[in-house]
Copies of this chain bind each other. A is one copy, B any other.
């Protein structure tokens, strides 16, 4: 593509480094920003700079945080003896948005992946063990990791490490999504959901 000026070319180059944004979209965004006043553009660039420079991570669970502890860990109403282990912050946000979970989290910062050279040292595994080790009460650990080969490997690895501490370990339920069409559910999910069928409880 021909760009009318070096400045716009440079801006397109930088914007198109973002995931899912191609050169055409980048050009559209750059030309949109050019039409905005300086304050709007500074609002964006300032927010991004501050995000990178000033972002802190929770000392306990490695969630994004404004202070030493994140809002979840700092809240007195959350069950500290329940830890949900997630790979990344977006997973934590997704679970928080359900409003169904009252425990705490532990953000690993990824999953084990020998292919990409990511071992336990690259993840927040040691600090998870430390939290369990130093807990004064019985702990429950919930794995909410990706349902991929690497995700399962990570769950299995952590399970073996955590077993000696006598904690309750579970993983999030897999099955047909609520509102999902049976017909269009992939075979693996459908197969698992039949094997892991849930019995109706008719009460008394």
Contact = CB atoms under 8 A, between A and B. Distances in A.
Looking at A17, A36, A88, A92, which has the most chain B CB atoms within 10 Å of its CB?
Answer: A17
Contacts of A4: 63-65, 70-72, 89, 92-93
A65 B5 contact: yes
Please tell me how many copies of the chain the complex holds. 2
A40 interface: yes
A190 interface: no
Contacts of A72: 4
14 contacts: A1-B93, A3-B93, A4-B92, A4-B93, A6-B66, A7-B50, A7-B55, A7-B66, A11-B50, A14-B44, A14-B47, A15-B44, A31-B90, A44-B48
